[in-house]
């Protein structure tokens, strides 16, 4: 139906939806954050800027309570990083599990300020990102008339502190970088004056390179290297947490919002920073499978058990197509993005690696294979925001509690043929 064919009531509804989407996943977020800015403790030593934006459709940290998009910027603040404990550190990916939590356990004594009118809300931005075991009664800082006169280290640049919980999860970490980039735009911070602090004890991951390349011209600072020191920051931003923001919107239900100029701008920026702006698709259609496989001793859930056999049949049916199956845990971020820029079709089991569909050229097709009862649509939403096509596939047999999948090869070929035809892939 054309817009001109809509009734007055429908036009009003459409206008309201467009405004909601603009504030939920698009440029309106910048305006909402700028309007939310509150300043505390303005004196010759300190200033604290607090940003707070709530949207009812962001991921809930508990039933009925969506996470808020919060950030705080501390000017001339000092951290006492002595006697810092780690919630649940591991030494290898093999040990990863639901209890893994590399975040530091802060206490008010660790956050030092000269302000006698410190806002509890400002402290909450930091402390609410910490493990639950340290959250209660933590909304304050250690107040003193004078900070330690000679800190061990002074950071003169603008510092973005990113606190990671799921450090190995690329979906959450790209969402975290996107959130920090949004705040850089709100604050008008430049990449030449900004440095990223990974403020936790997380394992080394490929997404570390992503944070550094996308947000700064300087090497990363690792939180573990600052332990047992007094560190003073000229400007310290506590970035919004990984489980909030636009990429965490409507993960579990329908998403009426479509193109997002904000996410497209971020995508363009990332591609420029990695030198991969060009559409790299060839004359032969390329299908890329983001393959879920065990790695570094970690047993991965939701594996496509007969992926090899199914795609060999597809290759035999369409010999002119290039079909590649890639384990993204084995390649660096730039290679991951480059594979996406070359792809006409991306297929994968539901999992965090599917976040890479963000880098696809316009009009590419994404097919996400789900366990029958799994309902989580973050990668569908990314397709909606960035003008790629999307289909989901739930047929076949789910195996074991880990939700591995086996598909009927004739049914799969029939589905794929219809999807390729529907979206004019060839």
Q: Tens digit of pLDDT for each residue in 52-91? A: 998 888 887 666 556 789 998 988 888 889 999 998 888 8
Domain match, 76 and 218 both: yes
Domain match, 328 and 362 both: yes
Domain match, 140 and 195 both: yes
Of the candidates 101, 102, 100, 105, the residue with the CA atom closest to the CA atom of residue 81? 105
Task: Give the burial string for 193-216 (b: 16+ CB within 10 Å, else e).
Answer: ebbbbbbbbbbebbbbebbbbbbb
Domain match, 44 and 174 both: yes
Domain match, 53 and 174 both: yes
5 found inside a domain: no
- Phi/psi at 75 (nearest 5 deg)? -105, 125
Domain match, 240 and 292 both: no
Domain match, 274 and 390 both: yes
Task: Give the burial string for 221-243 (b: 16+ CB within 10 Å, else e).
Answer: bbbbebeeebbbbebbbbbbbbb
DSSP 8-class letter at 240: P
241 found inside a domain: yes
Task: Output the average pLDDT for the chain.
Answer: 88
CATH code, 352 = 3.40.50
134-169 pLDDT tens trace: 655 445 565 555 555 568 888 889 999 999 999 999
Question: Rg of the chain's alpha carbons, rounded to an integer?
Answer: 23
The domain in which residue 194 lies consists of: 32-247
**DSSP string covering 54-114, please?**
--TTBPEEETTEEPPEEEEEEEEEEEE-TT-EEEE--SSGGG-STT-EEEEE--GGGEEES
Burial class (CB in 10 A: 0-12, 13-18, 19+), 113: buried
**Percent of the chain surpassing pLDDT 90:** 64
- Split at pLDDT 50, 70, 90, the class of 247 is very high
Domain match, 139 and 239 both: yes
255-297 pLDDT tens trace: 999 999 999 999 999 999 999 999 889 888 999 999 999 888 8
- Cα gap 219→208, rounded to integer Å: 10
Domain count, the chain: 2
User: What is the structure's pLDDT at 219?
Assistant: 96
Domain match, 151 and 293 both: no
Per-residue pLDDT, averaged over 3-10, amounts to 60
Q: Is the pLDDT of residue 172 over 90?
A: yes
13 found inside a domain: no
User: What is the structure's pLDDT at 34?
Assistant: 97
Of residues 270 and 119, more confidence is placed in 270
Domain match, 224 and 285 both: no
User: What is the structure's pLDDT at 143?
Assistant: 56
pTM for the structure as a whole: 0.93
Half-sphere exposure of 230 (CA within 13 A, CB side): 12
Per-residue pLDDT, averaged over 113-132, amounts to 64
Of the candidates 124, 162, 185, 181, the residue with the CA atom closest to the CA atom of residue 242? 162
User: What is the structure's pLDDT at 2?
Assistant: 46
Domain match, 308 and 388 both: yes
79 found inside a domain: yes
385-407 pLDDT tens trace: 999 999 999 999 998 888 999 99
Domain match, 201 and 341 both: no
């Amino acid at each position: 139906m054309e817009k001109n064919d809509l009734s007055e009531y429908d036009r009003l509804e459409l206008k309201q939806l467009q405004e909601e989407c603009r504030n939920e996943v698009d440029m309106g977020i910048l305006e909402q954050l700028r309007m939310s800015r509150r300043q505390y403790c303005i004196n010759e030593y300190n200033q604290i800027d607090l940003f707070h934006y709530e949207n009812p459709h962001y991921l809930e940290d508990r039933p009925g309570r969506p996470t808020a998009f919060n950030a705080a910027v501390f000017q001339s603040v000092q951290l006492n990083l002595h006697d810092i404990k780690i919630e649940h550190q591991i030494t290898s990916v093999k040990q990863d599990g639901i209890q893994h939590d590399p975040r530091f356990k802060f206490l008010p004594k660790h956050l030092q300020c000269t302000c006698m009118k410190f806002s509890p809300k400002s402290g909450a931005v930091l402390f609410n990102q910490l493990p639950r075991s340290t959250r209660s009664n933590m909304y304050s800082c250690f107040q003193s008339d004078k900070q330690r006169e000679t800190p061990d280290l002074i950071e003169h640049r603008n510092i973005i502190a990113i606190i990671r919980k799921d450090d190995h999860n690329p979906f959450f970490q790209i969402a975290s970088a996107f959130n920090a980039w949004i705040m850089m735009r709100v604050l008008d911070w430049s990449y030449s004056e900004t440095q990223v602090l990974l403020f936790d004890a997380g394992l080394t991951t490929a997404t570390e390179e992503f944070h550094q390349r996308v947000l700064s011209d300087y090497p990363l600072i690792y939180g573990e290297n600052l332990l047992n020191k007094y560190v003073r920051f000229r400007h310290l931003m506590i970035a919004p947490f990984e489980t909030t923001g636009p990429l965490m919107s409507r993960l579990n239900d329908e998403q009426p919002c479509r193109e997002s100029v904000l996410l497209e701008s971020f995508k363009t920026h990332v591609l420029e920073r990695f030198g991969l702006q060009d559409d790299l698709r060839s004359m032969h259609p390329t299908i890329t499978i983001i393959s879920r496989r065990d790695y570094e001793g970690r047993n991965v859930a939701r594996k496509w058990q007969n992926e090899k056999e199914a795609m060999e049949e597809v290759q035999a049916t369409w010999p002119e197509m290039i079909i590649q199956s890639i384990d993204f845990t084995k390649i660096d971020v730039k290679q991951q993005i480059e594979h996406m820029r070359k792809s006409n079709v991306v297929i994968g089991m539901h999992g965090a690696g599917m976040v890479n569909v963000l880098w696809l050229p316009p009009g590419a097709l994404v097919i996400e294979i789900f366990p029958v009862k799994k309902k989580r649509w973050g990668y569908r939403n990314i397709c909606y925001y960035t003008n790629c096509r999307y289909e989901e596939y739930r047929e076949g047999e789910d195996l074991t509690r880990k939700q591995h999948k086996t598909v009927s090869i004739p049914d799969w070929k029939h589905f794929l043929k219809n999807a390729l035809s529907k979206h004019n892939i060839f």
